């Protein structure tokens, strides 16, 4: 017997029989019979439910929207109590809803979270189902301005359910800026050179600065000349005044906290995210007007799990889910009954003492989206987006 065989035998990898035949041990190789035996066992386990994890929920709703809006709906174990599972995909921009719905999402997606700038356009091009309010009894709990908001309706039918909101305000470090700024154009003041913060949120910059530069509240119905002037002003701020363009409001908060910026268009929660040790952050609503956003829940056309989706739509307007979302994300609630459930911080950020008055001062509340197709002398959405890219490249 060879030396090699002897080594294998000592290692327990081979054995010899008196007949002289040798048997080698193999690893990982499976005979056809072994394979069939394993496959049969697997099929049996699958058929009997053995080997599965937790029991499958009755129905899985496909959610495409902002992160944490989905988990907020699970207040007080709502999903388990109602045998609902939610399969979530998160978006980074409203445009993605349109792209995904048009490219195979209709018939597959259930719930989405458009804002009221893009939402009406999405309803108009047939991406959403009109909502049957009889299946959403919590609708009557909405603050009156949100129940009446025209942008959430089309042809008398409700398409969007206001879920959360907030405002783009002019935030400043009150330890440094002693006099509250009153205009978006205050960011051009020489004392703020190198201390201005900007974010990469197109509508959050373009709409307020259109109000300030073009001097109109109809900020999405302007001419090309006016738009060029708006971007020229923003470019001047970017090149001469700004410290950086923050990729998110969280980053903007960090810049306020470190003292790197003292003034910026921001969202109210930035004052909380900056942390306890941050400078005193205050904000004003500039005289030219400001931009408020309202995020909604909407039902995608031909949603495959409509009945369960309606349960979630109704849940989205429950005080518990509303408070859950606000306490997690620092957004404002749209349901009055949620106010007692709010933590002190999120409650302090928004004008809850007079929600009706706040929205009345904003007319209907939301500007329409820039025209998608050519509409007289007005700039189109594409003009605005192209200008935005030019602004970023400048």
Alpha-carbon gap, residue 221 to 44, rounded angstroms: 65
Q: What is the distance between the alpha carbons of residues 383 and 155, in angstroms, rounded to a whole number?
A: 28
Distances (CA, A) of 214 to 135, 206, 230: 44, 11, 7
Helix (H, G, I), strand (E, B) or coil at 293: strand
For every residue of 138-180, which 3-state class applies, written as one string? HHHHECHHHHHCHHHEECCEECCEEEEEEEEEEEEECCCCCCC
Residues 30-89 that bind other proteins (CB under 8 A): none
- Site residues for other proteins, 99-158, by CB under 8 A, read 99, 102-103, 125
Q: Does 171 bind other proteins (CB under 8 A)?
A: no
Residue with smaller CB distance to other proteins, 37 or 102: 102
Which stretch in 106-114, 184-192, 219-227, 385-393 sits in contact with other proteins by CB under 8 A?
385-393
User: Which of 82, 88, 108, 244 contacts other proteins by CB under 8 A?
Assistant: 244
Shortest Å distance, C-beta 95 to other proteins:
5
**Angle, to 10 degrees, between the axis of helix 202-213 and the axis of helix 224-236?**
110
Interactions with other proteins, residue window 174-203 (CB under 8 A) = 194, 198, 200, 202
Distance, CA of 196 to chain centre? 25
DSSP state of 129: P
Q: How far is the CB of 244 from other proteins (least distance, A)?
A: 4
* Residue selected from 133, 148, 185, 385 as contacting other proteins according to rule CB under 8 A: 385
**Span of 21-29, 98-106, 154-162, 337-345 interacting with other proteins by CB under 8 A:** 98-106
Out of 95, 182, 223, 348, point to the residue binding other proteins (CB under 8 A).
Answer: 95
- Whichever of 51 and 247 has its CB closer to other proteins, that residue is 247
Please report how many Cα atoms fall inside a 13 Å half-sphere around the Cα of residue 182, on the Cβ side: 2
Burial 267-284 (b: 16+ CB within 10 A, else e): bbbbbbbbeeebbebbbe
Q: Which of 6, 34, 83, 93 binds other proteins (CB under 8 A)?
A: 93
Q: Is 347 in the site for other proteins (CB under 8 A)?
A: no
Residue 370, SS3? coil
* Number of residues lying near other proteins (CB under 8 A): 31
Residue whose C-alpha is closest to residue 163's, from 302, 3, 323: 323
CB of 84 to other proteins, least distance (A): 29
Nearer to other proteins, 62 or 199 (CB): 199
| Residue 392 lies near other proteins (rule: CB under 8 A) | yes
Residues that bind other proteins (CB under 8 A): 92-93, 95-96, 98-99, 102-103, 125, 194, 198, 200, 202, 238-239, 242-245, 247, 251, 254, 258-260, 372, 385, 389-390, 392-393
């Amino acid at each position: 017997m060879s030396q090699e065989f002897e080594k294998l035998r000592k290692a327990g990898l081979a054995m010899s029989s008196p007949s002289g035949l040798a048997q080698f041990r193999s690893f990982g190789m499976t005979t056809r019979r072994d394979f069939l035996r394993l496959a049969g066992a697997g099929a049996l386990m699958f058929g009997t439910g053995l080997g599965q994890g937790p029991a499958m929920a009755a129905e899985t709703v496909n959610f495409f929207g902002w992160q944490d809006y989905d988990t907020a709906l699970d207040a007080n174990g709502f999903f388990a109590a109602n045998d609902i599972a939610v399969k979530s995909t998160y978006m980074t921009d409203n445009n993605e809803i349109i792209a995904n719905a048009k490219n195979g999402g209709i018939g597959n997606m259930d719930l989405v979270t458009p804002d009221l700038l893009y939402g009406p356009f999405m309803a108009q091009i047939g991406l959403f189902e009109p909502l049957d309010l009889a299946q959403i009894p919590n609708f009557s709990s909405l603050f009156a301005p949100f129940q009446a908001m025209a942008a959430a309706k089309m042809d008398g039918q409700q398409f969007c359910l206001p879920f959360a909101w907030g405002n783009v305000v002019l935030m400043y470090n009150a330890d440094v800026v002693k006099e509250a700024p009153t205009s978006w154009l205050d960011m051009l003041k020489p004392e703020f050179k190198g201390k201005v913060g900007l974010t990469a949120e197109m509508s959050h910059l373009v709409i307020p600065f259109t109000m300030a530069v073009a001097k109109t509240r109809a900020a999405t119905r302007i001419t090309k000349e006016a738009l060029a002037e708006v971007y020229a002003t923003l470019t001047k701020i970017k090149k001469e005044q700004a410290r950086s363009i923050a990729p998110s409001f969280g980053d903007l908060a960090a810049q306020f906290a470190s003292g790197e910026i003292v003034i910026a268009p921001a969202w109210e929660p930035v004052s909380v995210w900056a942390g306890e040790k941050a400078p005193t952050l205050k904000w004003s609503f500039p005289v030219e007007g400001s931009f408020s956003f309202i995020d909604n829940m909407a039902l995608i056309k031909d949603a495959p799990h409509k009945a369960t989706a309606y349960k979630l739509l109704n849940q989205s307007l429950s005080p518990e889910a509303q408070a859950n979302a606000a306490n997690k994300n620092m957004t404002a609630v749209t349901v009055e009954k949620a106010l007692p459930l709010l933590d002190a911080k999120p409650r302090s950020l928004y004008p809850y003492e007079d929600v009706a008055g706040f929205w009345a001062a904003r007319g209907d509340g939301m500007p329409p989206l820039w025209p998608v197709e050519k509409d007289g002398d007005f700039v189109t959405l594409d003009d605005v987006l192209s200008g935005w890219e030019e602004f970023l490249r400048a």
